[in-house]
Structure 1
Amino acid sequence: MDRTVNDVAQQVSTGAMPGWDRVEALAVQAHARYASNADGHVADYIPGLAAADPELFGLAVGEIDGSVHGAGACETLFSIQSISKAFVYAMVCDAVGHGVIKDRVGVNNTGLSFNSVIAVELNNGHPMNPMVNAGAIATTALVPGATPAEQWEVIRTGLSRFAGRQLELDGEIYHSEMRTNQRNRAIAQLLESYGRIDIDPSDAVDTYTRQCSLRVSARDLAVMGATLADGGVNPVTGERVVSDQVCRDTLAVLASTGMYERSGEWLFEIGLPAKSGVSGGIVAIAPGKGAIGTFSPLLDSAGNSVRGQLATAYLSRALGLNIFASAPAHHSSAPAARKDAV
């Protein structure tokens, strides 16, 4: 992470966002600061993603009052990929409850790569982490619906409510992933063998692949994240999407698992619940304030967007979003000593 942000004071995570003009200016500054960074590589294990333009870079900041501030390619559409896991997880939590999804899917970081099969075997068939593929497939299998078509429509409609507009499937990405998702099919069959999913594993993988192929923009991600930041109410449409308790659960999971095996480093440096995807998107949420959505296809070795991480770190510092940041209270006098103090 860039720790040389000398022209921006470290702010503490208190109060509200600064004024509209200030947020707008900082979004533009963050984009300009990192637009020329060419570190990383485009995901090439899915042919449809390998064709992404490495020059693309956009970001947006969404506030809980409905304001959205964008810069660069913030309206460019790309497949949501693993970022969908966060919002489908929230939908399933809302549908089946805190206890069921904790027991069936789990809430802990595996410390292994997002598509690991070994993690399932090591934990007696328990997915452990809802933000890696095994846990996400188990989560998708819990989506309400009597048929795969009904489950898919619940997901598409639910994620559209988070975004505040109708999201569409990227058919090219979907078919490209279906031709190369042997590993996910193996994971689903393994989950079925352990009794972790109750539907046909092929159907679970198909629906999961569809959810990852929905098209979003950095602006959409900012609005979707701001919905989690605002207790489950979409700040643009005013619609309640999920409960405030579900937002709390989802953000807790994202804080510990959302950035793959780099989640600890991300939380240490940036201090925000977040989720990334291998198409180059990142959404980072500041509870009670808003969210940052970024898009840049150049990834680090863990599958996280390089420019997206740098821009989010910059904005987290400049806007005072780090949920762990605080400052000493100023007291007029020292507190009186307790009489029973040793």
Structure 2
Amino acid sequence: MESPIQRYLEELLNEVSGNVMGTPYSIHPPGGAPDPQDFGICLATVDGHVYSVGASDKAFSIQSISKPFSYGLALADHGIDAVDEKVDVEPSGDPFNEISLAPETGRPANAMINAGALAVVSMIKGSGGKSAPRRIMDLYSKCAGRRLSGSKAVFDVEMRDSDRNHSLAYLLSSFGIIDDNPTRALENYLRQCSAQVTCRDLAMMAATLANGGTNPSTGETALEIEQVERVLSVMMTSGMYDDAGSWVSSVGMPAKSGVGGGTLAVLPGQAGLAVFSPPLDAHGSSVRGSETCRRLSTDMEMHFVRAATSGNSTVRPGVGITQLPSRIRRTEEQAEMLEHFNERCQIIEVTGDLAFAGTESLVRAVSDLDDEVALVVIDMQQVNECGSLAVQMLETLEHRLTADNRQLVLIERRGLLDNTQLSAEPGVPIFLSRGGAVEYCENRLLAALGTDIGEPNRVQVPDSPALAPLDEEQRTRLVSYMEPRNHDDGDIIRRVGQRFGGVHFIVSGQVNTIATDPQGDRVRLNTLSAGMTFGELALGSDDRQETTEKAVGAVELLVLTPEAIEALEADDPQLALLLWRALTRDAYLLVDRYLRETAVRLNY
């Protein structure tokens, strides 16, 4: 199933494409004029998944988006204090190419404006047999997760049109900020700006910053968290130049734009966003890039204030109902059918807060399910907060699943979905516990597989699965030793602590098995139905009942009492032996199933 997030990005691309404002950067190699129609959006998560739409793989020049990454490299080389002596961390409020230098020291206001970027790149030296430009490109490549390279044609044309930047370099040199050849500093700066990237590359570079400096796809560390912390801080206050205040208010993500048409934004700990669209506004930022970021921040709740209110979340997908079954003890035939068609129902457990990252992981987990999965159970019992984005995405998932003749089932006990379309009639089934939800799904699955598989209303003792190893004559003879009993709804048939009261065969109705948990609360262990037995396990517990058995509705039983068992052993020892073998086999199968289920629950 297509992800609702992927569909959202496609719709956003179509809507924002209608914005034809702006003019592409005028400086470019001959024949290399940017196409104003190019438009791509990429969103990369901190676990390495990338959503992309439009011209996401078309190469363009990174331009000023290179600045925060080179700033990180300088911080790694020299440390924060040494870099701070050369470049301040204050927003300038000026355009990117303004001469924003401290009057007495000549120190640039920050590393995101051109003056600051020139100062930063002058601090990056060759090392280990690699030149400064090579080291810079290596860092960009680590962040992108693939080998990047520069364009000589772009470098040449930029070098011919860099008088203002050249003058900035010499001015910085006059203050001692650049202590090397200012022309070399300019050349290295323009080489880094000429790096060729795609929208997908930028999204992964942003995700690397979001992931604390480690590339989510390759696992390679490009920068340490101390450098990333400083880089993102300066990006937040200064990355969008003289539009920074408006950007922080409306988008609320550290970001950087470039005249090549790229825009990069970072949601720390969650995702990296990149947009490519050449037409620029008066600030030198992509018109569509800015609008896309604003829309995503609002629609996907990616503003840092909203993101900061939510803790981490975990999504655990893909557990089938035979691994985490209900407390209904099914017949062998039903159990076999559920085992065989187990993958048609999947349980996804969510813990923590459903903000952007958690919602994206949940949506991806559901979207990646096999088309054969007809019942999707989302267990939200451990979710603390559910934002409007999560509700919207759950509603979209429900519509998509319904359109595909599939069903969404929810487990939620905190009222997080109250007053939403999900809880309104007809809505979706919402259960307070996993047991109830899985029981519902088992019944739905069994019903879909054929009415003959449904819960039997009445099973005569000779047809009981527990007695399957006996032949027909032996089963008929065994019934002659049994006595009938009837119970009304709510009757206690056997109480915990009572001595062995015989083997009870359920002819019709249901019986709940109830026990006491470590906290002293009474809990239902399972529900037994027609064709099943209880009571025999007391023989293995000092002849005392370990649980309470309670009638659910009218219940009809046939009971092989202790006295009848003694008579059977005296009259027909061979039949008695066959009975105990059959009951032992049935108990073994039951205990083995419970042990496997418990192991799954402990690991889940």
Assess, with a 3 A threshold, how the Cα gap between structure 1 residues 48 and 199 changes in structure 2: closer, same or farther: farther
Letter in 1 for 2:46: I
Superposed CA deviations along residues 25-72 of structure 1, whole A, max 9, x for unmatched, are: 222222111012101111225566981111111110000010000000
Q: RCO higher in 1 or 2 (8 Å CA, sep ≥ 6)?
A: 1
- Aligned residue number for residue 64 of structure 1: 46
- Cα separation, 1, equivalents of 2:270 and 2:300: 10
- Aligned residue number for residue 299 of structure 1: 280
- Aligned residue number for residue 197 of structure 2: 216
90, 94, 103: which one pairs with 2:85? 103
232, 238, 246: which one pairs with 1:265? 246
| Greater Cα radius of gyration, structure 1 or 2 | 2
- Cα separation, 2, equivalents of 1:122 and 1:150: 33
Assess, with a 3 A threshold, how the Cα gap between structure 1 residues 20 and 189 changes in structure 2: closer, same or farther: farther
Matched, 1:228 2:196: no
- Aligned residue number for residue 33 of structure 1: 15
- Cα separation, 2, equivalents of 1:64 and 1:146: 30
Assess, with a 3 A threshold, how the Cα gap between structure 1 residues 301 and 282 changes in structure 2: closer, same or farther: same
- Cα separation, 1, equivalents of 2:107 and 2:120: 12
- Aligned residue number for residue 3 of structure 1: none
Q: 2:207·2:271 contact (CA, 8 Å) conserved in 1?
A: yes
Letter in 2 for 1:317: T
How far apart are residue 262 of structure 1 and its match? Answer: 0.2
SS for the counterpart of 2:7 is helix
- Cα separation, 1, equivalents of 2:41 and 2:236: 21
TM-score w.r.t. length of structure 2: 0.50
- Aligned residue number for residue 23 of structure 1: 5
Assess, with a 3 A threshold, how the Cα gap between structure 1 residues 123 and 288 changes in structure 2: closer, same or farther: farther
Letter in 1 for 2:221: R
Letter in 2 for 1:44: S
- Cα separation, 2, equivalents of 1:281 and 1:49: 20
Moved over 3 A (4+): 45-50, 121-124, 146-149, 326-330
Matched, 1:178 2:159: yes
- Cα separation, 2, equivalents of 1:255 and 1:187: 24
Matched, 1:75 2:57: yes
SS for the counterpart of 2:51 is strand
Q: 1:26·1:315 contact (CA, 8 Å) conserved in 2?
A: no
Q: 1:148·1:207 contact (CA, 8 Å) conserved in 2?
A: no
How far apart are residue 123 of structure 1 and its match? Answer: 5.7
- Cα separation, 2, equivalents of 1:37 and 1:254: 26
131, 145, 155: which one pairs with 1:164? 145
Tell me, which stretches of 5 or more residues in structure 2 are unaligned?
A: 311-383, 386-413, 415-604
Q: 1:56·1:297 contact (CA, 8 Å) conserved in 2?
A: yes
257, 262, 273: which one pairs with 1:276? 257
Superposed CA deviations along residues 173-200 of structure 1, whole A, max 9, x for unmatched, are: 1110000101111101110110001110
SS for the counterpart of 1:65 is coil
Assess, with a 3 A threshold, how the Cα gap between structure 1 residues 148 and 122 changes in structure 2: closer, same or farther: farther
Higher strand proportion (structure 1 or 2): 2
Letter in 1 for 2:108: P
- Cα separation, 1, equivalents of 2:173 and 2:127: 18
- Cα separation, 2, equivalents of 1:162 and 1:116: 29
Assess, with a 3 A threshold, how the Cα gap between structure 1 residues 173 and 167 changes in structure 2: closer, same or farther: same
SS for the counterpart of 1:261 is helix
Matched, 1:54 2:39: no
Q: 1:113·1:302 contact (CA, 8 Å) conserved in 2?
A: yes
- Cα separation, 2, equivalents of 1:80 and 1:296: 12
SS for the counterpart of 1:272 is coil
Letter in 2 for 1:97: G
- Cα separation, 2, equivalents of 1:222 and 1:183: 31
- Aligned residue number for residue 223 of structure 2: 242
- Cα separation, 1, equivalents of 2:12 and 2:270: 18
Superposed CA deviations along residues 145-179 of structure 1, whole A, max 9, x for unmatched, are: 26997101100111111111111111211110000
Q: 2:102·2:109 contact (CA, 8 Å) conserved in 1?
A: no
SS for the counterpart of 1:191 is helix
Q: 1:75·1:217 contact (CA, 8 Å) conserved in 2?
A: yes
Count of residue pairs brought into register by the alignment: 312
Q: 1:48·1:173 contact (CA, 8 Å) conserved in 2?
A: no
Matched, 1:322 2:303: yes
Assess, with a 3 A threshold, how the Cα gap between structure 1 residues 144 and 278 changes in structure 2: closer, same or farther: same
Q: 1:83·1:276 contact (CA, 8 Å) conserved in 2?
A: yes
How far apart are residue 142 of structure 1 and its match? Answer: 0.9
113, 126, 135: which one pairs with 1:132? 113
Assess, with a 3 A threshold, how the Cα gap between structure 1 residues 111 and 123 changes in structure 2: closer, same or farther: farther
- Aligned residue number for residue 97 of structure 2: 115
- Aligned residue number for residue 76 of structure 2: 94
Superposed CA deviations along residues 271-317 of structure 1, whole A, max 9, x for unmatched, are: 10000001110000000001110010111101010101111111122
TM-score w.r.t. length of structure 1: 0.86
Matched, 1:192 2:188: no
Q: 2:261·2:285 contact (CA, 8 Å) conserved in 1?
A: yes
Superposed CA deviations along residues 127-157 of structure 1, whole A, max 9, x for unmatched, are: 1111010000000011132699710110011
How far apart are residue 223 of structure 1 and its match? Answer: 0.1
